[in-house]
Amino acid sequence: MKKRTILNYILTAVSLWACGLLLTGCQDPYAPTLQHPQLTSAHILGYSVRQRPIELITIGTGEEKVMIIATIHGNEDAGTPLVYKLLDKLRTRPDFLAGRTVLIVPLANPDGYALRTRFNASGIDLNRNFPASNRINNEVHGQQGLTEPESRILYDLVLAYQPMRIVSIHQPLYCLDYDGPGEDIARHMGRYCSLPVKKLGSRPGSMGSFVGIEQNIPIITMELAKEDSELTAAQLWDTYGRALLAAITYPELPY
């Protein structure tokens, strides 16, 4: 009787070991390590005048869409490293994405960025090239709305996704400006950075005018300081990161 018990014990131990071996052996070595592979995606929306790609990075899968645009004016480039830092942060804190999708255009004017100019490669101010009722046609704003591929890409993006709110990052006016029903969001963001909320007035044919006035979508123009282009991405994040997160989590607190 005792011998049988010992034998049973040995047999059980051996079968457990064999099962373990079998399970380990069956594990797929190519199984995805990323738990939410659908969480982040990047794709090219189109191309600039000089055929540089304009990219959209999407993170999250929720219903509420928040859009963030950086560097529509090519020489106001501090927003680009800042939004890449934001992306890193959102990857590590998916709780910020509960019920939300964040749509990021990290470099809206790649030709202007390469040429170190406000304008695109055709000399047009993209942030005056939108079809708003206050637009002024001329050689800098374009002779009509959407003459430029870059502004058309942003226009299509807004209409396709209908975001709940938009933040567009500029320099050097050092404030949180808003168009449309954006005042509460600007004030919410203002609690998390030193930028004062200021109503600068809608610029003719700007993205703010098109989005805020024509589409009635709140849009915050986040004007950083001129010298912010000298900051590292980490310094930019320390200065403005929480305000950007506040725009995403609005009306909830970002921390």
List residues binding Zn ion (CB under 5 A): 73, 76, 170
Q: Which is nearer to Zn ion, 59 or 104 (CB)?
A: 104
State the minimum distance, in angstroms, from the CB of residue 200 to Zn ion: 11
Q: How far is the CB of 113 from Zn ion (least distance, A)?
A: 12
Residue whose C-beta lies closest to Zn ion: 170
| Least distance between Zn ion and beta carbon 171 (Å) | 7
Q: Which is nearer to Zn ion, 97 or 244 (CB)?
A: 244
Q: Please identify, using beta-carbon distances, which residue of 112 and 180 lies nearer to Zn ion.
A: 112
Residue closer to Zn ion (CB basis): 72 or 97: 72
* 127/215 with CB nearer Zn ion: 127
Cα–Cα distance between 210 and 216 in angstroms, integer? 9
Give whichever of 100 and 135 is closer to Zn ion, judged by the CB atom: 135
Q: Which is nearer to Zn ion, 101 or 209 (CB)?
A: 209
Q: Which residues does residue 43 pair with via DSSP β-bridges, in sequence order?
A: 56
Provide, rounded to whole angstroms, the least separation between the CB of residue 102 and Zn ion. 22
Complete DSSP assignment for 237-255 = HHHHHHHHHHHHHTTS---
Token pair, residue 131, equals 């079809």
